[in-house]
Amino acid sequence: MSNMLKKVDHSKRGDILNSAFSQFSQYGFQKTSMADIAQACGISRASLYTYFDNKEDIFRCACVSINEKLLSRMAYWLVHDTADICSMSLAQKTEKALLARYGRLLEIAQSPHGGEIIDERNRLCGALVQESVKQCRALLRKALKAGDKSGEISLASAGLTALGAAEILQMAAAGLKVDADNADVYCKRLSNFVRVFFAGIQPK
């Protein structure tokens, strides 16, 4: 049955995806069954099929959901213009945005099987993860371009384009997760990197 014809109850779908995400993170895709997901969210297995076609469908939707949430968290710091955010420097906003995304990814990756959901090579969700990375870079690029235009930073002083700078920030933020034992270690690494990076693109 096409998803277009599935029962529409966004609140319940969200509950199911949250339960499924917990199951996949804890036990992995292969060892998680539709029955496990149904039990975790307190509905019958038959009812579960009124919302999703199969386990693969749930896994992909869970992947979409988490990546949308992470992008939304990033956008909060880079796009919104509330008074508290406007008072921050671009470096501070960038650090907050990257931490909102990659700090959470670190938590997911450290769960027993959470890495499957954020793996760019995963056959079920790899393309979705790669697209999310592109959107992450697009958010950074837009913010950096605006900062360059306002004179807060000077990309030309470092021989960078907004896209090139965004790629460096994104790849570094992702790479700094390696061997980070906990969120505190990652936060310190990220803070140090962002500070050094922005020091290099200050107007001369």
Contacts of 55 (CB under 8 A, 6+ apart): 29, 32, 33, 34, 37
Report, at the CATH architecture level, how domain 3-199 is classified. Orthogonal Bundle (1.10)
Rounded average pLDDT over 155-162: 96
Cα separation of 111 and 179, whole Å?
Answer: 14
Q: What is the mean pLDDT of residues 124-143?
A: 93
- DSSP secondary-structure letter at 77? H
Mean pLDDT score, 10-26: 91
From start to end of the chain, where are the E strands?
A: none
End-to-end CA distance of the chain: 61
* Segment 144-165 mean pLDDT: 97
Is the overall model pTM greater than 0.75, yes or no? yes
User: What average pLDDT does range 153-166 have in this prediction?
Assistant: 97
The tokens for 85 are 């955010």
Express each pLDDT in 44-88 by its tens digit: 999 999 999 999 999 999 989 999 999 999 999 999 888 899 999
